A and B are shown apart, each in its own frame.
Chain A
Amino acid sequence: MAKTFTIFLTTAPYTHENTLTAVRVAESALGKGHRVNLIASGDGVYCFLKGQKAKGIPHAGDLFAGLIARGLKVYL
Chain B
Amino acid sequence: MRLSVILTRPPYGDVQAAEAVRHALGAIGEDMEVRLILCDAGVMVAKKGQSEGDTGYTNLGESLKDVIEMGGDVIADRGSVREFGLEPEDVIEGVRIVNGYELSEAVKESDRTMIF
Contacting residue for A56 out of B13, B14, B58, CB 8 A: B58
Check if A57 sits within 8 Å of B13, measured CB to CB: no
The B interface, classified by DSSP as helix, strand, loop or mixed, is: loop
The answer to whether B15 and A59 have CB atoms under 8 Å apart is no
Residues of chain A contacted by B15 (CB below 8 angstroms)? 14-16, 57
A16 to B58, CA, bound (A): 14
Bound together, the chains give a CA A16 to CA B15 distance in angstroms of 6
CB within 8 Å of B: which A10-56 residues: 14-17, 20, 56
Within the complex, which residue of A20, A56, A59, A63 is in contact with B18, where a contact is CB–CB below 8 Å? Answer: A56
In contact, B56 and A59 (Cβ under 8 angstroms): yes
- Interface residues on chain A, number (Cβ under 8 Å): 10
Chain A residue contacts of B101, Cβ below 8 A: none
A20/B14 in contact, CB under 8 A: no
Task: Give chain A's interface residues, CB within 8 Å of chain B.
Answer: 14-17, 20, 56-59, 63
19 contacts between A and B (CB under 8 A): A14-B15, A15-B14, A15-B15, A16-B15, A17-B12, A17-B14, A20-B55, A20-B56, A20-B57, A56-B56, A56-B57, A56-B58, A57-B15, A57-B18, A57-B56, A57-B57, A57-B58, A58-B56, A63-B56
